[in-house]
Structure 1
Amino acid sequence: MSNNNRRQTLGGLSPAMLNSRQSMGPARIAMEGKTAGKGPGLSGRPSMFPGNVRLAGPATAVPRRSSAHAKAGGPKHDPRRIGDKAYQANCIRTLIAYLSTHGYDQPLTPKMLANPMGKDVINIMHFLMRQVDPHCKNQGKIEDEVPALFKRLKYPYTISKSALFAVGSPHTWPGLLAALVWLTELLYYEEKAEQVREQTFDDKARSESNFFNYVSTAYRHFLSGNDEECAAVDDAQTRVFHDRAEATRTRNAELQQENERLAAEVEAMRSSPSPLEEARAKHQEHLSDRDKFRKLLDNLQSHKEGLQRKVAERTADLRSKQQQLAAIEQMRARIAAQTVSRDDVIRMNHERVKQEQRLGAVASQREALDARVADQERACEHRLDDLDAALQMYHSAADRLQLIPASAKRAAGIQYEISLDRSGTTAHELINIDLKGVVKAGLVRVREGSGSRARELAEEALALQEGLDGAQHSASERAEENAALATQARTPCLSMTVAQLERQLAASKEAMEGDIRARAAEADALKGVVDELRNATCHTIAGSEAAILALQGHAEEAVRANEAEAEQLNGDLAEALQALLDHKLHLQRTLDHTHSHLHSTLDNIAATPV
């Protein structure tokens, strides 16, 4: 009773609808296959049985197949080459590929399908029917179900029951094989279409589709009077809703945690220093490190060059020592070939004593020469310091006179700057410029030009002085005349004329005196410049040349003395070494002779009869 009340809540049902609940025909089975494949809680592929709208009618998903519907006028001619062996082999490969990739559990080989048994064909048909409708029970006869299945799937050619009674015969198997391959292609197409539909659905559309499938399935079970199945579908959908709600809550919690983490990260990024500033600071630090590394590389390169020079020097010393060692070995060979007597040993001892005394004297002489060389080097340094001070005075005077640099006003393109190279050994190496040919000649030209200009200014000053004296004399005469005229004049107009003349005379006198003073000052300045140039040039050049010559003489004398002393010491050392070697060889031979004489004496004593 309760079931009837629940069913009546869906609306009034007509007697035809109530009677349809008792029908279990193929149309009802097709609807079950269609909806069960999409119902919630039921796994598997959607049904392709005859009730599937996508595979039947003008709006089917395979319009290419639907256009080949059979007409009532009679069977259509099959254009496929089903009798061709190559075509059959290709169909067999296609069928085996589909069955092996979709879970067919029976053994299968191309040879087996070339001439199959009836049982194998029936198993393949049952498997493909389950692929079309997963809920197919296979309760009827195969010769009835297969033609009906292909007819509902709109297969364009007729499959006779007689072909199914002898499925493995050569005249019926090619057509049945082509039909099975057509069915596998249809299943392939349905799988691809389902994948595309699933990919194009979003979550909302998929949820609505699942809910629609649930409602349709539940309503179908309700109409069928199957309350247990309806309750199972409700429970399955409830579990789906619970699982979806739990997944949503879990996702919300995860999103909340992710949101909190991102908020903390944003806050940390806001409170932390700017990455751009850190990057700029690191960039500046890297630039500083790069400059330091470049300086270090330059220093290491300089150090490497210095080490290479030292290696070259040590290599040269090694070659020299090897040559000396070879000479010593030759001398030892000569000494080893010589014979030494007792008198030679005594003589060599006396010579060794003399050589030691001579070596001591030479060593003391060398120390004295070293001290003298050190004194001369210090004197050279003092002379170089004096020369450097003189050059500084010369440069300051030349700067005041506008002679340096070469682009100065009075330099006339001549290089008057002098640089001192303390490492030089000659006058040309000490001074970078020709003093006599360039500096002195240029200064002489400047002095002569300044002297000629001073003479011209002196002559002009003398002429101006003479003009001034004449003007003063004429002014005194005019003053006397004006005084006489003043005493004689009585009218105001004459007095005014005399006053104007006196003012004009005084103004011209003052202007002339100012001009004379300016010319005299310019002449004095030029004279001072000429005198300063003359004194500075003469003193600087003379002092520099004298200092350079003195330093050059001292340096050459010191070099000659050192070379002579070194040669003398080398000779003395060679003589002393030769004497020592001779003495050693003489002693060795004397000892050998004494030893042999002693042995011979002992042998004689032993041989003497007692």
Structure 2
Amino acid sequence: MDSRRRSVMQPAYEPSSHARGSHLPVPSTIKKPANGPAFNPRLSVAGPALRPTNLNVPGTNPRQSMMRSQNTNPLLQSTSKGPAYGRTPMANPALRRGSMWGGGLMPPPSANQVVKDPRPLRERSYQAKMRQDVHNYLNDSGFEISMQALTSMHGKDYRAVFETLVITLDSCYPFRDGARLEEEFIPALKALRYPFSHQLDPKWLAAVASPHSWPFLLGVLHWLVELCRMRNEYMVSGHPTIQDPNFVPEEFDDPLDHKALAFQYTEEAYTSWLDGQDDFSQWNLMLEDRYQKRNERVQTELEEKKSHFFKLKTEYGKLKAAVPSINETKKECEIMQKDLEKFKIILERYEQRRDRLIDQIAVEKVELSRRTELLEEQKAEFEKLSATIKDQNLSPEEVIKMNTDRETLQRNLEDLRQKIDESKKAVLNLEVNVANRVTAVEEALDTYTAMLATLGLYPTPPEPWADIDLTLELNSASSNPQQLLAGSDIRKTIRPTLSSVAENRRQERATVENESVKVNNELDQLTTECKNIDYEIGELDKKVTQLNEQADDLRDAAQQEAQVSSVEASRLERELAQARTAAISNGLGVKSRLQALQFSYKEQIEKVSRLKEETVRAILKNGQEMANFKQEVSKHLQELRDFAEAD
């Protein structure tokens, strides 16, 4: 790594930090050290650093009121007795007093939050673990230190370990020569973002191994060791964020890999530029070679794809130029389809023929094996007979006779076998017929039993046949024909009994039919009488209707006469009133006329009373007649009901 690169950490700014030199170009306005190293006369292309000017932020109300309060206490100004005080601002906005706030923005709240160290630093077991981790890491990294030195540590040893760990994390960290550890300790931890630096006191470094300071200082070393381990693991992990060109593969697409190569190119070119070299062709060629190597396989595949594409394109052009017409292609396709169907039919025929031949071959093989076995048996029998003949010393005539007898016996045996087969067939047919007959008989017996149950003769017939059992059962397993039917004798017992039952039922049926005829005649007579009674009831209903109509007419006439009488009485009363008025007014013949009118009025009242009485008598008479008619009808209906119930 170039020694001129700055540290990634930001130490605290000090005015004298430029005295040591950072090897970076700085503006010419800064004074160079007199005895410093030779500097490069070329300036940075970034230009001088910009310094923001301090601008005073105005207050929210910079204008001050022109009226001064006589009261020097600002909290009591609103209670002053002046003419402009003690008034509501909305009543007179022109007299609003000025703000007491001096202006300026409120400072933002502090972002630093106190974080407490959660580690159990004061526990001895945890301290032993931290010492062991620090000891192992330092010895593994080449810094030799004993466990005893870590147990009772001096300030010099602590500084050496601390600076070693910090330099491991950042090899360019600017430790000042001759500076005290108390001055470098806290800035270095803050630069490394140690989260608990606010809990540390630089005065503890005067006595590192003291009981109150050593746990925290050991915790700092342990945290740095863990950070170093994480850094080492990260640096060897090959992650793209390391920006190491050595870890970039030949074929890469990650943007971080591109940035790593770009950073390498920028670093080397900037280093050359700082050395006074303006020719960057070497680094340009290196970067071009790197990307050319990356694109080499892709370019090769691209060339292969292009050649394959051109080849296919040429073949497509040839095929397109040699394509026949669509009609010819369709005709050829139809011909080929027909040929395909024909070939399928022929193939099916040949497959069927093959199956038949295979079956025939299998049958022939079976027959051949059977014939072979028979031949072997015949040969064995022939050899046996030959041996027997040799043993018996028979003459040829005797042998011929024996063969003739044997053939005759074989023919007789074949005839007997044929007869046995015919007998078996006949027996089989007879068994089938017997089974059918047995089924028919069972169905007939079931029908017979069902009819007995319907007639009430099963399971026990009524008197006088209670002692006779009419049930029959089929015993098809019996060898005796007389025992096939179990039960009473059909001819001697069952048939005469059934005949007597039938005769009895016929007589009962005739009796029932005669009674039915009588009942039908009586029913016809009752029906006729009911019709006559219905006719009489209809006539009576008509009479009742007529009587009701007459009663209604009489009632209407009585009402009309009463109404006429009322009208006449009203007229007479009016005339009487007029007569009275006239008599009073005229004073002539009043009494005589009044008496005549009174007599007429009495006659009219008597006439109305008489008509009312006649109407009431007529209504009562009609009601009495209707009641009598109702009683007569009820009496006739009761007699008809009694007669019907008696029959």
Q: Which structure carries more relative contact order (alpha carbon 8 Å, separation 6+)?
A: 1
Identify the structure with the greater helix proportion: 1
TM-score using structure 1 length: 0.31
Larger-Rg structure: 2
